[in-house]
């Protein structure tokens, strides 16, 4: 008897040379075995064959339903991927550029890209339980003793005595705007002896240096600067809190004190600038800032030029620093002037054309070599993939992910080992990347064309980090230093004047350099004020760098 498989799927027919599926072959074998039994009634054989055919028919229908469900699931995944991409684009338009790490996770997980990487580490387990509360040693502790409501003995009526004292975990209390008024009393002294009447009385002199003749201490101005440039709180909020404490101190007075203190801190900014330009490599970027222009009815646009030196990824004894300089223009001439006396070998930047004049052979900075930022190139391919669903763009992002995995493995290694690892792992990826982009450059269009052209035009600078272990794969370090400026710009809307913008640059040079050296910026500024006040300005400013600060060290 031959088994019939009604509605059997074509792909199942291909599973067997005779047109039967594996289960069909099994059932056919059962019928053949039954047929070989002697004296077996034909009616029983026919009945068994009919039942088996019914089973196969039901199995065929079930398989067809499973196949249809798989197709529906595939279609739903495709719709989900498209909606996810549209949502990512809308988020970028609404909130601006986000973290490269977060956007990379979106590309890999939500878009379903399978990325294999030999450098991937196993996910770390999240710490269990609550973290231990850190309490500074110098914090003021207020102890409150608690006794029973009834302190009399129930038997004899005498007063109870404490036999056990249990001190429990303390509770933090905030004392808002705790101000102290410091009054200076200057004494005039003289000798009362008869023989000393000819000696004139001696009067005490004021010891104020930084804030001489002003109604606040330099520590007050330093705190106001920290609140604005470190905590990104506009001065009007400080003015409001002071008014709530019945102190009528105008924000203009506070701003003038902050600007006055900045004049005494400017030499430290110059020392940071000299330190940054004396290294092997530096990163440079610029960011716009709105500056109030009285009489124009609108704001001018100025620029903060940021130069960063951070060797922490390959030098355990690194002394990182970043310097901010304000300028009215974004022209390349400003960058050339800021680097006119640099001894740098490499300068890492983005693709802004204004930096090109720095690398001319006959320029003022002859010998300075360009190094480009791969994060900018990767971001363009990521955006091209979101806009066009280009498989080429997705492949390039995967290649960049592998290169960044190499950088993760190379972090903390000496320069020679970093270079060796990059030559072994990263250089083949860069070579393949250039070949792929060159092959598809002519056929690309839109955002993908822009991304390919951007990468190929600066490819030498993009791969320069491979051949020097002291270079970084991108200039994210200097871009992280701009985050604080962005927050202050958002909360303050604009700088009051060009001179005020220059004050911003001074404080950000000190605050961000302190952060790079894991020093609390508030502690650092107060230490600077105390040293300058103590020495009355006669101090070696090179000894006031953040890495010399003895207070405010951050453990992690």
pLDDT surpasses 80 at 21: no
Q: Most confidently modeled of 188-192, 355-359, 412-416?
A: 412-416
pLDDT of residue 321: 97
Q: Most confidently modeled of 165-174, 207-216, 484-493?
A: 484-493
387-403 residue pLDDT tens: 888 899 999 999 999 99
Q: 475 or 181: which carries more pLDDT confidence?
A: 475
Residue 137 lies in a domain: no
Cα separation of 197 and 191, whole Å?
A: 7
Residue 163 lies in a domain: no
pLDDT surpasses 50 at 285: yes
DSSP letters for 207-231: ---TTTTSSS-HHHHHHHHHHHHTS
Q: Most confidently modeled of 17-21, 108-112, 358-362, 456-460?
A: 456-460
- Kind and range of the H or E element at 458? none
Among candidate residues 24, 41, 66, the one where a domain is terminated: 66
Split at pLDDT 50, 70, 90, the class of 56 is confident
pLDDT of residue 89: 72
pLDDT of residue 110: 45
The residues facing 302 across adjacent strands are: 289
**What angle is formed at CA 404 by the lines to CA 399 and CA 408, rounded to 5 degrees?**
150
Summarize the confidence of residues 301-321 as an average pLDDT.
94
Phi, psi of 286 (to 5 degrees): -145, 155
324, with CB counted inside 10 A (0-12, 13-18, 19+), is: buried
pLDDT surpasses 50 at 118: no
- Kind and range of the H or E element at 299? strand 298-309
Residue 48 lies in a domain: yes
Question: Max Cα separation, the chain?
Answer: 153
CB 81 within 8 A of CB 111: yes
Is 288 in a helix, a strand, or coil?
Answer: strand
Q: Which residues have CB under 8 Å from 326's CB, separation 6+?
A: 289, 302, 303, 304, 305, 498, 501, 502, 504, 505
pLDDT of residue 514: 96
**What angle is formed at CA 104 by the lines to CA 98 and CA 109, rounded to 5 degrees?**
120
Residue 353 lies in a domain: yes
Positive or negative CA dihedral for 192, 197, 203, 204? negative
237-260 residue pLDDT tens: 989 988 888 888 888 999 999 999
pLDDT of residue 523: 94
**Mean residue pLDDT across the chain:** 84
Residue 95 lies in a domain: no
Cα separation of 68 and 495, whole Å?
A: 63
Summarize the confidence of residues 49-59 as an average pLDDT.
78
pLDDT of residue 128: 58
Tokens of 524: 């650092």
Among candidate residues 44, 66, 88, the one where a domain is terminated: 66
Summarize the confidence of residues 328-336 as an average pLDDT.
93
Summarize the confidence of residues 498-518 as an average pLDDT.
96
314, with CB counted inside 10 A (0-12, 13-18, 19+), is: buried
Residue 185 lies in a domain: no
CA atoms within 13 A on the CB side of 525: 26
Cα separation of 469 and 413, whole Å?
A: 9
Among candidate residues 35, 50, 66, the one where a domain is terminated: 66
Tokens of 348: 């890492």
User: Which residues form the domain of 450?
Assistant: 280-506
CB 360 within 8 A of CB 354: no
Split at pLDDT 50, 70, 90, the class of 26 is confident
Query: What is the tally of structural domains in the chain?
Result: 2
CB 258 within 8 A of CB 228: yes
Other Cβ atoms within 10 Å of 315 Cβ, number:
15
pLDDT surpasses 80 at 457: yes
pLDDT of residue 105: 52
Percent of residues, the chain, with pLDDT higher than 90 = 48
Residue 225 lies in a domain: no
- The alpha-carbon radius of gyration of the chain (Å, integer) is 37
The residues facing 301 across adjacent strands are: 290
Residue 455 lies in a domain: yes
pLDDT of residue 555: 72
């Amino acid at each position: 008897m031959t088994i019939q498989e009604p509605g059997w799927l074509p792909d199942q027919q291909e599973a067997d040379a005779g047109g039967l599926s594996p289960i069909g072959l099994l059932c056919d074998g059962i019928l053949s075995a039954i047929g070989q039994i002697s004296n077996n009634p034909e009616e029983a054989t026919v009945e068994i064959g009919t039942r088996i055919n019914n089973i196969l028919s039901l199995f065929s229908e079930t398989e067809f339903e499973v196949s249809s469900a798989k197709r529906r699931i595939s279609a739903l995944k495709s719709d989900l991927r498209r909606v996810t991409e549209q949502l990512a684009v809308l988020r970028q338009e609404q909130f601006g550029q986000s973290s490269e790490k977060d956007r990379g996770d979106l590309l890999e997980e939500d878009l379903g890209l399978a990325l294999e990487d030999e450098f991937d580490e196993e996910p770390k387990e999240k710490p269990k339980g609550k973290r231990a509360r850190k309490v500074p040693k110098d914090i003021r502790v207020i102890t409150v003793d608690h006794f029973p409501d009834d302190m009399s003995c129930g038997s004899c009526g005498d007063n109870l005595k404490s036999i056990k004292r249990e001190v429990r975990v303390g509770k933090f209390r905030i004392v808002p705007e705790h101000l102290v008024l410091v009054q200076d009393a200057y004494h005039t002294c003289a000798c009362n002896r008869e023989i000393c009447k000819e000696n004139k009385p001696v009067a005490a002199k004021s010891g104020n240096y930084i804030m001489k003749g002003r109604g606040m201490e330099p520590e007050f101005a330093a705190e106001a600067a920290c609140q604005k440039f470190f905590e990104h709180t506009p001065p009007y909020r400080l003015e409001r809190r002071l008014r709530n404490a019945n102190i009528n101190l105008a924000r203009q007075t506070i701003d003038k004190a902050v600007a006055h203190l900045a004049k005494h801190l400017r030499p430290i900014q110059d020392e940071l600038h000299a330190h940054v330009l004396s290294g092997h490599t530096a990163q440079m970027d610029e960011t716009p800032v709105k500056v109030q222009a009285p009489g124009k009815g609108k704001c001018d646009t100025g620029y903060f030029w940021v130069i960063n030196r951070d060797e922490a990824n390959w030098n355990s004894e690194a002394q990182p620093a970043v310097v901010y300089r304000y300028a009215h223009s974004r022209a390349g001439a400003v960058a050339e002037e800021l680097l006119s006396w640099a001894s740098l070998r490499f300068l890492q930047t983005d693709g802004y054309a204004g930096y090109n004049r720095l690398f001319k052979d006959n320029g003022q900075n002859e010998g300075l070599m360009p190094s480009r930022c791969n994060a900018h190139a990767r971001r363009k391919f990521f955006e091209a993939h979101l806009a066009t669903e280009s498989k080429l763009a997705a492949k390039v992002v995967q290649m960049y992910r592998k290169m960044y995995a190499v950088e993760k493995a190379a972090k903390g290694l000496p320069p020679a080992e970093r270079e060796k690892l990059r030559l072994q792992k990263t250089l083949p990826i860069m070579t393949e990347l250039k070949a792929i982009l060159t092959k598809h450059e002519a056929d690309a269009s839109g955002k993908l064309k822009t991304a390919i052209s951007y990468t190929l035009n600066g490819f030498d600078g993009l791969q320069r980090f491979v051949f020097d272990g002291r270079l970084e794969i991108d200039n994210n370090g200097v871009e992280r230093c701009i985050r604080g400026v962005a927050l202050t710009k958002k909360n303050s809307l604009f700088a009051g004047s060009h001179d005020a913008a220059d004050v911003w640059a001074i404080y950000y040079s000190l605050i961000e350099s302190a952060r790079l050296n894991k020093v609390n910026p508030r502690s650092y500024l107060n230490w600077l004020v105390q040293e300058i006040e103590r020495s009355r300005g006669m101090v070696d400013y090179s000894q006031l760098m953040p890495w010399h600060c003895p207070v405010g060290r951050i453990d992690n």
